[in-house]
Amino acid sequence: MEKTKVAVVGSGNIGTDLMIKIMRNSSNMEMCAMVGIDENSDGLARAKGMGFVTTAEGLAGLEKMEEWNDIKIVFDATSAKAHHYNWGIVQKYPDKRIIDLTPAAIGPFLIPPVNFDASHDVRNVNMVTCGGQATIPIVAAVSRVAKVHYGEIVASIASKSAGPGTRANIDEFTETTAHAIEKVGGAERGKAIIILNPAEPSVVMRDTVFTLSEQADRDAIKDSILKMVAKVQTYVPGYTLHQEVQFDDIPESDPVFIEGLGHRHGLKTTVMLQVVGAGHYLPAYAGNLDIMTSAAMVTGERFAANNKN
């Protein structure tokens, strides 16, 4: 059966890793074109060496090429600012859709194991952030058992895995992730913190998720979390619990203050995760980038599969 042809926009680390993932592992997609703005980038050189169409003139350059007519899915691995421009091109073509790996958040947030079905017919979907892809499934898992008043995530990544695009989008990272904790995770209030860890040798991605919810059966919450971890592991094998799920009571007599909500009491759940990358193009410690490309790829796979039906 014919595969859906796709293009990757952004020839940096994320785009190059995604290209290799599609080439090696995709069942429903065919890598067709790599788009960049630096003709000397490693990503464009690799794509050209593999026989894919390349251009250093951005998406507008690809739009001029004959191959553009056959491309149905565009992966945007550029920046939040550039995505506005790229979406302006893609939205002119009803037969094409874009999967946004930047924090631009023009389209609805998509976390594959949580809300894919709600976004399957949308032409622009946003993959939130690496921290969001790692942690929002956990917030959602708690929300399925108990009402979550507050969700806070702390994402710690190796400094070496934070390229120019990541560093330029720090503000968008925190704002987009916090919003998605509420919109997709189900928390009344969300907060996100990112830490760039300069340790040598570089450490793998670590994420801590805190939720404050109404009191509920702790075994049911733990079971929901473990099932969600297993779902994420189907496309990110290096995604694991770093420690056992922890619970603490926040008594009504000693509530915590949450900005925008006031004082709240209930059950505090703490989940500690680590994400080890698959090492397709990026080093294993760059789990933050790997979970983004893996989430984008599994989303593309499902879109392409739906196109066949």
Same domain, residue pair 149 and 274? yes
Report pLDDT for 215: 98
Residue 213 sits in the same domain as residue 147:
yes
The reported pLDDT for the residue numbered 274 is 97
Q: Indicate the burial class of 308 (C-beta count within 10 angstroms; 0-12, 13-18, 19 or more).
A: exposed
**The pLDDT value given to residue 118:** 78
Q: Is the per-residue pLDDT at 216 higher than 80?
A: yes
**Number of structural domains the chain divides into:** 2
Verify that 53 and 144 share a domain, yes or no.
no
Which pLDDT belongs to residue 258? 96
Specify the pLDDT at position 200: 95
Q: For position 53, which CATH number holds?
A: 3.40.50.720
User: Of residues 89, 130, 184, 236, which has the active-site annotation?
Assistant: 130
What is the C-alpha to C-alpha distance for residues 113 and 229, in angstroms, rounded to an integer? 10
Running DSSP on this structure, what letter comes out for residue 286? -
**Whether 295 contacts 30, CB under 8 Å:** no
Claim to verify: residue 278 and residue 139 sit in the same structural domain? yes
Tell me: do 93 and 225 sit in the same domain: no
Q: How far apart are CA 41 and CA 54, in angstroms?
A: 11
Among left, alpha and beta (phi > 0; psi -120 to 50; other), residue 51 is left
Q: Which residues contact 181 (CB under 8 A, 6 or more apart)?
A: 132, 135, 136, 139, 151, 153, 187, 190, 191, 192
Domain, as residue range, for 84: 4-127+290-308
Q: What is the pLDDT of residue 5?
A: 98
Question: Would you say residue 1 has pLDDT above 80?
Answer: no
Same domain, 252 and 275: yes
Looking at the structure, do residues 136 and 272 belong to the same domain, yes or no? yes
Tell whether 173 and 300 lie within a shared domain.
no
The answer on 146 and 235 residing in a single domain is: yes
CA 127 to chain CA centroid, Å, is 4
- Give the integer Cα–Cα distance in Å for 268 and 216: 11
DSSP 22-39: HHHH-SSEEEEEEE-S-T
Contacts of 170 (CB under 8 A, 6+ apart): 194
How much is the pLDDT for 309? Answer: 61
Mean pLDDT check: name the lowest of 113-117, 154-158, 165-169.
165-169
Q: Which amino acid, one-letter code, is at 244?
A: E
Dump pLDDT digits (tens) for 54-92: 999 999 999 999 999 999 999 999 988 999 999 999 999
Residue 37 binned pLDDT confidence (cut-offs 50, 70, 90): very high
**Do 144 and 274 fall within a single domain?**
yes
Q: What is the pTM of this model?
A: 0.95
| Residues 140 and 198 placed together within one structural domain of the fold | yes
Of 57-61, 163-167, 269-273, give the lowest mean pLDDT range.
163-167
pLDDT of res. 45:
97
Active site residue 32: no
CA distance 306 to 308: 5
> What is the per-residue pLDDT for 170?
86
Q: Are 178 and 102 found together in one domain?
A: no
CA distance from start to end of the chain: 12
